[in-house]
């Protein structure tokens, strides 16, 4: 199947890698550990202008990767995870902007993570991989942007755990970030969110194949990871979306089975999501990424005790977006950020979008979201260029 590349897709794209922090110049992690060499998988779309002023950095969520748009081949049936937003003429217009997206440190889609080979042992790191923070992920991304020669980023954009990275960028490297678009995100995880993540982690660690993280040469903890994904997937949806999509409808049957098969459509759906996830994701990466997200707390990280003081470091223009049915990172958390930003006199736009699809709404087609992202970026770009 040939893909239309005119205004529909960026077309065929290529995954690239950047390796840095070669010993003895290892990257210092927030835990105090040193790590190197490090590799980040990344992709770029569009062209960097002569002034290098049109770069947009997109930051992915838990299960995402560097493949944000386009296709890997002419017959690739699956586009990048945000192809609806990134491409020629789209909300993030690759005719106008140079877009960069990298797989996070600790991930399993080409970047260094617990499944990578430890150069000191010749075996996969497993739990010898140091615990990663959102700040560590951003430090690694900064090295990539330095390698690309980008000193000022027109906008950093991301939702969910990608949004945590957006906020970290704005406070860790405030002089580099012209604008920021944190979507469906939070300045720190609530007890509820941490609880869901912990149950998911326990599901993985309870799988006998997990073997304390040392499973790379044998059977993998697929059942545990599948259950972890099922738990997570519930939090990405909403009561309204599940009622609309599934209700209490039965799956391929007219009556109950009176056993523990998947009687209901929602049961079948969750089992399918779990089984598909284990084909492409590493269980240890799931543990590390969720732990990094749980540790994230802007007020603690910047030793400020308050969001107002934390955002006193920021210099970016902000577009903050939340969704009405998102109960994982509900709107009140976005409003707390907006209030703190306003008290610092920052240029801030806020929009709560009416959407029934829960936390995942930022990944789904939404004309209003596309329009406000496109308009915000055009305003920032025009103000920067004038």
Select from 244, 270, 289 the last residue of a domain. 289
Question: Based on the domain organization, do 274 and 149 belong to the same domain?
Answer: no
Alpha-carbon dihedral of residues 85, 106, 204, 202, nearest 10 degrees? -100
The answer to the question of residue 9 being in a domain is no
Q: Is the CB of residue 307 less than 8 Å from the CB of residue 337?
A: yes
Question: Based on the domain organization, do 184 and 199 belong to the same domain?
Answer: no
User: Could you say which of 65, 93, 222, 326 is catalytic?
Assistant: 326
User: Could you say which of 63, 66, 155, 160 is catalytic?
Assistant: 160
Please tell me the distance from the alpha carbon of residue 92 to that of residue 374, in angstroms, as a whole number.
6
pLDDT digits (tens, 9 = 90+) for 44-93: 999 999 999 999 999 999 999 999 999 999 999 999 999 999 999 999 99
Please tell me the distance from the alpha carbon of residue 98 to that of residue 56, in angstroms, as a whole number.
6
pLDDT digits (tens, 9 = 90+) for 210-250: 999 999 999 999 999 999 999 999 999 999 999 999 999 99
The answer to the question of residue 246 being in a domain is yes
Question: Based on the domain organization, do 207 and 327 belong to the same domain?
Answer: no
Alpha-carbon dihedral of residues 151, 285, 182, 50, nearest 10 degrees? 20
The answer to the question of residue 4 being in a domain is no
Question: Based on the domain organization, do 24 and 153 belong to the same domain?
Answer: yes
Q: How confident is the model at residue 5 (pLDDT cuts 50, 70, 90)?
A: very low
Domain carrying residue 267: 195-289
pLDDT digits (tens, 9 = 90+) for 15-46: 999 999 999 999 999 999 999 999 999 999 99
Question: Based on the domain organization, do 34 and 167 belong to the same domain?
Answer: yes
Q: Is 160 among the residues known to form the active site? A: yes
Mean pLDDT of the chain: 95
pTM recorded for the entire structure: 0.96
Q: What is the pLDDT of residue 6?
A: 40
Q: How confident is the model at residue 112 (pLDDT cuts 50, 70, 90)?
A: very high
Question: Based on the domain organization, do 307 and 283 belong to the same domain?
Answer: no
Burial 368-382 (b: 16+ CB within 10 A, else e): ebeebbbebbeebbe
Question: Based on the domain organization, do 172 and 215 belong to the same domain?
Answer: no
User: Could you say which of 53, 282, 359, 360 is catalytic?
Assistant: 359
Q: What percent of the chain has pLDDT over 90?
A: 95
Question: Based on the domain organization, do 223 and 251 belong to the same domain?
Answer: yes
pLDDT digits (tens, 9 = 90+) for 296-326: 999 988 867 899 999 999 999 999 999 999 9
The answer to the question of residue 7 being in a domain is no
CATH number of domain containing 264: 1.10.1740.110
Q: Is 294 among the residues known to form the active site? A: no
Question: Based on the domain organization, do 255 and 159 belong to the same domain?
Answer: no
Select from 238, 258, 289 the last residue of a domain. 289
Q: Mean of the pLDDT values across residues 150-171?
A: 98
Spacing of C-alpha 27 from chain mean position: 22
The answer to the question of residue 56 being in a domain is yes
Q: How confident is the model at residue 2 (pLDDT cuts 50, 70, 90)?
A: very low
Question: Based on the domain organization, do 60 and 171 belong to the same domain?
Answer: yes
Q: Total structural domains in the chain?
A: 2
The answer to the question of residue 184 being in a domain is yes
Of the ranges 21-35, 132-146, 173-187, 290-304, which one carries the lowest mean pLDDT score?
Answer: 290-304
Q: What is the pLDDT of residue 300?
A: 87
Instruction: Flag whether pLDDT at 347 surpasses 70.
Output: yes
Identify the burial level of 384 via C-beta atoms within 10 angstroms of its C-beta, where 0-12 means exposed, 13-18 middle and 19 or more buried: middle
CATH number of domain containing 119: 3.40.50.1820
Select from 289, 309, 326 the last residue of a domain. 289
Q: Mean of the pLDDT values across residues 355-376?
A: 96
pLDDT digits (tens, 9 = 90+) for 264-286: 999 999 999 999 999 999 999 99
Q: What is the pLDDT of residue 176?
A: 98
Question: Based on the domain organization, do 153 and 21 belong to the same domain?
Answer: yes
Question: Based on the domain organization, do 46 and 152 belong to the same domain?
Answer: yes
The answer to the question of residue 3 being in a domain is no
The answer to the question of residue 10 being in a domain is no
């Amino acid at each position: 199947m040939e893909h239309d590349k005119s205004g529909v897709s960026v077309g065929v794209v290529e995954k690239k890698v950047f390796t840095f922090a070669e010993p003895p110049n290892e990257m210092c992690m927030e835990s105090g550990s040193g790590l190197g060499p490090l590799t980040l998988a990344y992709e770029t779309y569009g062209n960097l202008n002569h002034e290098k002023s049109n770069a947009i950095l997109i930051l992915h969520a838990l299960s995402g990767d560097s493949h944000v748009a386009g296709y890997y081949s002419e017959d690739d049936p699956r586009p990048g995870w945000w192809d609806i937003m990134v491409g020629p003429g789209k909300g993030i217009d690759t005719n106008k902007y140079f877009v960069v997206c990298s797989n996070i440190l600790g991930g399993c889609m080409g970047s260094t993570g617990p499944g990578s080979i430890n150069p000191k042992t010749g075996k996969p790191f497993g739990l010898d991989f140091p615990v990663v923070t959102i700040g560590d992920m951003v430090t690694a991304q900064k090295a990539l942007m330095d390698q690309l020669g980008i000193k000022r980023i027109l906008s950093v954009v991301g939702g969910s755990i990608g949004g945590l990275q957006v906020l970290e960028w704005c406070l860790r490297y405030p002089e580099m970030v012209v604008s920021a678009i944190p979507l469906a995100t939070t300045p720190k995880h609530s007890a509820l969110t941490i609880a869901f993540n912990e149950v998911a982690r326990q599901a993985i660690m309870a799988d006998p194949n997990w073997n304390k993280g040392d499973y790379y040469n044998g059977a993998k903890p697929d059942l545990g990871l599948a259950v972890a994904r099922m738990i997570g997937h519930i939090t990405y949806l909403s009561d309204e979306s599940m009622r609309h999509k599934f209700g209490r409808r039965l799956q391929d049957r007219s009556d109950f089975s009176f056993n523990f098969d998947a009687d209901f459509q929602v049961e079948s759906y969750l089992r399918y999501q779990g089984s598909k996830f284990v084909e492409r994701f590493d269980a240890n990466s799931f543990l590390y990424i969720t732990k990094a997200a749980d540790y994230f707390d802007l007020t603690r990280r910047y030793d400020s005790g308050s969001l107002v003081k934390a955002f006193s470091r920021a210099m970016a223009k902000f577009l903050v977006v939340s969704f009405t049915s998102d109960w994982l990172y509900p709107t009140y958390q976005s409003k707390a950020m907006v209030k703190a930003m306003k008290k610092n006199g920052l240029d801030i736009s806020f929009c709560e979008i009416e959407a029934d699809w829960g936390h995942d709404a930022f990944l789904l087609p939404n004309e209003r979201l596309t329009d406000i992202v496109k308009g915000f970026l055009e305003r920032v770009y025009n103000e920067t260029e004038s």
